[in-house]
């Protein structure tokens, strides 16, 4: 159990998004930073590095995008829903890319198998937030 | 003069975007990381910190978004135009927020005056890339 | 339970450090990125922001240092023990600073109370790795 | 000409370090983030990726360390000289590693030749700051 949800609830700010789902997305993003960073590093050390170039490149980028997503979601005060919206979309896309590329190598490389799963969990958590934005925050977004 | 464009041109990858404009956007983002990081820090040290809360919060977030934008644009190989598209949109929005908030304090705080200008230059450079994507990369995006 | 240790063990690289302790430090750093990022944001939204300036400044920096520490520790292949050594020292120091400042506000602000604990756990995990380096990696460091 | 020094001078904080040299180091770090990020990406796209694994790994890490160094140096208020000291040491070491590895490939790969030079400039700028700390900030460090 992480402290993420409890931390978010200490912030004096109007809740723009359901905090339980934000906490889930933050934790999924941080896991993805870790896993993608290690997967890219592991790719470079494999004999078959030639076949793992795209995996290394996309995992490095996925880690960077998940990192900024976790940071923005961790700031409920003075948050801007439209910035978060675009970052969540980037995060879903980057995680999908990594998941799909990792899936192609999952049978031969354990790091890719684990990484695929972590990326897919992150897609799910960020997509859930995007859905929540569409329903609850539509006016904010339109007003932005 | 930075080495950015020259570095980008050494990468063996199909050019999805005009490299001169990518280089301009990277350099604008890196300047914005620097300026927004210092502006947020300067806000905390002002007597009038009470009025600068939003500025501090938005500049920290703007620095983070510009950072990831510079990183993604610095990777021409195995780039994904749709991830970049969403990140550029987030960057334009975050820079607009910081610029507008800094503008409100520019008369009283020199760091806000400088920061406003740097943020607006970053908006312009990233918006130019978004335009270039729409024209040149439309099929890539649709196919993504 | 996180996947961190399992991921690290998939990397084809000589283990310079005990992987269980590396995984603990990575997870502690990622928690600290989350908690410090939210604590700094929460500080800005408090009525008493005037008294929380230092806390906000140090938590932002602590998050940045923990972030890079988690990234470096997540790359067992082609790792450099001396770079890691300096980064761990910076991380211990930055976490100590945040913990001590948060401790001063812990009675009045729940985010500071939680953040203090998370920072102290990160100090402990990184200090344990520094100890392990001194014993196991002394020759590497001297040779570096 | 960048705005870095001018920005630093707007911050209401006692100058712990000579601001002209801090500005030079920040700009050198940001250039190194850019160049190392592109060099690592370029490595992955080369036919000879097999020989460039270490270069890719070290440049990714160098970019991360330079990034956090630029961020910490950009915050003159509430800065902690000891944290900065360790981060500067990590930065010098990471840049030296990248420079030396890039030097081995500089004849065959233009990105490595450029990157070597940018890394060496960053080593020099950060080493100058470490020297300034030893002279001016010794008591702060001892007292830290």
The answer to whether the beta carbons of residues D56 and D143 sit under 8 Å apart is: no
Contact across the interface for A50 and D53, Cβ inside 8 Å: no
> What integer pLDDT is reported at residue A54 of this predicted model?
98
> What integer pLDDT is reported at residue A143 of this predicted model?
44
Taking 50 as the pLDDT cut, the residues of chain D under it are 138, 142-144
Instruction: State the best of D50, D57, D74, D78 to mutate against chain C, taking most chain C CBs within 10 Å.
Output: D78
ipTM: 0.94
Q: What separation, in Å, do the N-terminal and C-terminal C-alpha atoms of chain A show?
A: 35
Q: Is the pTM higher than 0.90? A: yes
Q: Where are the beta strands (DSSP E) in chain A?
A: none
Smallest CA–CA distance, residue C122 to chain A, in Å, is 14
> What integer pLDDT is reported at residue B61 of this predicted model?
98
Token digits for A25? 């997305």
Q: Which residue of C has its CA nearest to D84?
A: C90
**Is the pLDDT at C134 greater than 80, yes or no?**
no
Q: Please tell me if residue C57 touches chain B, with a CB cutoff of 8 Å.
A: yes
What is the count of residue pairs from A and B with beta carbons less than 8 Å apart?
74
**Is the pLDDT at A39 greater than 80, yes or no?**
yes
What is chain B's pLDDT, residue by residue, as a tens digit (144 residues)?
A: 589 999 999 999 987 899 999 999 999 999 999 999 999 999 999 999 999 999 999 999 999 999 999 999 999 999 999 999 999 999 999 999 999 999 999 999 999 999 999 999 999 999 999 999 976 554 555 443
- Confidence class of residue C127 from pLDDT cuts 50, 70 and 90? very high
Contact across the interface for C42 and A77, Cβ inside 8 Å: yes
Smallest CA–CA distance, residue C46 to chain B, in Å, is 10
Contact across the interface for B58 and A80, Cβ inside 8 Å: yes
> What integer pLDDT is reported at residue D136 of this predicted model?
55
Token digits for B28? 């604008």
Interatomic CA distance for residues A26 and D27, integer angstroms: 31
Q: Which residue of B has its CA nearest to C42?
A: B57
- Confidence class of residue C135 from pLDDT cuts 50, 70 and 90? low
Interval A65-79: pLDDT, tens: 999 999 999 999 999
Q: Please tell me if residue C48 touches chain B, with a CB cutoff of 8 Å.
A: no
Contact across the interface for A60 and D57, Cβ inside 8 Å: no
> What integer pLDDT is reported at residue B141 of this predicted model?
54
Smallest CA–CA distance, residue B144 to chain D, in Å, is 21
Evaluated on CA atoms D39, D40, D44, D47, the torsion sign reads positive
Q: Please tell me if residue C71 touches chain D, with a CB cutoff of 8 Å.
A: yes
């Amino acid at each position: 159990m992480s402290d993420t949800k409890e931390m978010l609830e200490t912030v004096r700010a109007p809740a723009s998004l359901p905090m339980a789902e934000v906490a889930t997305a933050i934790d999924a993003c941080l896991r993805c930073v870790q896993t993608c960073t290690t997967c890219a590093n592991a790719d470079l050390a494999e004999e078959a590095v030639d076949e793992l170039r795209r995996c290394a490149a996309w995992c490095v980028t996925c880690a960077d995008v998940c990192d900024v997503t976790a940071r923005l979601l961790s700031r409920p005060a003075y948050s801007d829903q439209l910035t978060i919206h675009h970052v969540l979309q980037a995060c879903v896309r980057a995680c999908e890319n990594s998941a799909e590329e990792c899936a192609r190598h999952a049978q031969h490389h354990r790091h890719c198998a684990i990484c695929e799963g972590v990326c897919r969990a992150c897609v799910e958590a960020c997509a859930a937030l995007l859905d929540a934005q569409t329903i609850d925050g539509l006016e904010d977004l339109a007003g932005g």
